Amino acid sequence: MATLTYFAGTMDSGKSTLALQTNHNHSERGRRGVIFSRSDRAGEGVVSSRLGLQHEAAEVGDDTDFWTEVIGRRTHGGVVDYLICDEAQFYSEEQVEQLARVVDELDVDVFAFGITTDFRTRLFPGSARLVELADRVEVLQVPALCWCGRRATHNARTVDGAMVTEGEQVVVGDTAELGTGVVGYEVLCRRHHMRRMTASSARAVSPSPDPLPLDLEVCSVPRPRSG
């Protein structure tokens, strides 16, 4: 029986790489699938990984209907055994429900890949609905790391190098422009996300190239001398 599987992780955890590998594995066994993506860092109509891998994809828009997409391809003689859905956090709740219907009524496997929470630690609507509806949710096993060496669990957005917690939920790209500032993204552990301490801000307060995960404000208070 077909299943809806959601592979979730932070940035830098290899989601797009796994999406391309999944497509390769299934196509090598003679199965035919369709790759979808939305707002990939490399542009429209492509799935790209930070390792340099790329593959053509159908771009998902606000008006994309996955049920219609699969029915249309099959009506014109196409075979659709599975769907690869990258950047699924950007899909609407309705589109996720369409994916579930494709699985249940057309017996098409759906492999969705995405980020669970945004830079404010809030669930993306698409990710929330996937967690609610998926037959299986898999947390990616390749951990992204915070600058301190801990497992990164949160995505942070920076503007001109400073971490921000307000703004539009979706701003795509590693160096996109937002107003007059340059937007960047970084993965952090919960401790340093809560403290808004990125790698650059940590270097600014510590001469060490590898700052320790301590409360630097407390450590900077001079201690009285004994005697």
Residues belonging to the active site: 87
| 3-class secondary-structure state, position 161 | coil
DSSP per position, 66-112: HHHHHHHHHHTT----EEEE-SGGGS-HHHHHHHHHHHHHH--EEEE
* Cα 5 to Cα 126, 147, 226, distances in angstroms: 13, 30, 62
* Cα 202 to Cα 12, 71, 161, 191, 218, distances in angstroms: 20, 52, 12, 13, 14
Separation CA 33–CA 141 (nearest Å): 24
- The structure tokens listed for 67 are 């049920």
Cβ pair 37, 87 in contact under 8 A: yes
Separation CA 203–CA 23 (nearest Å): 41
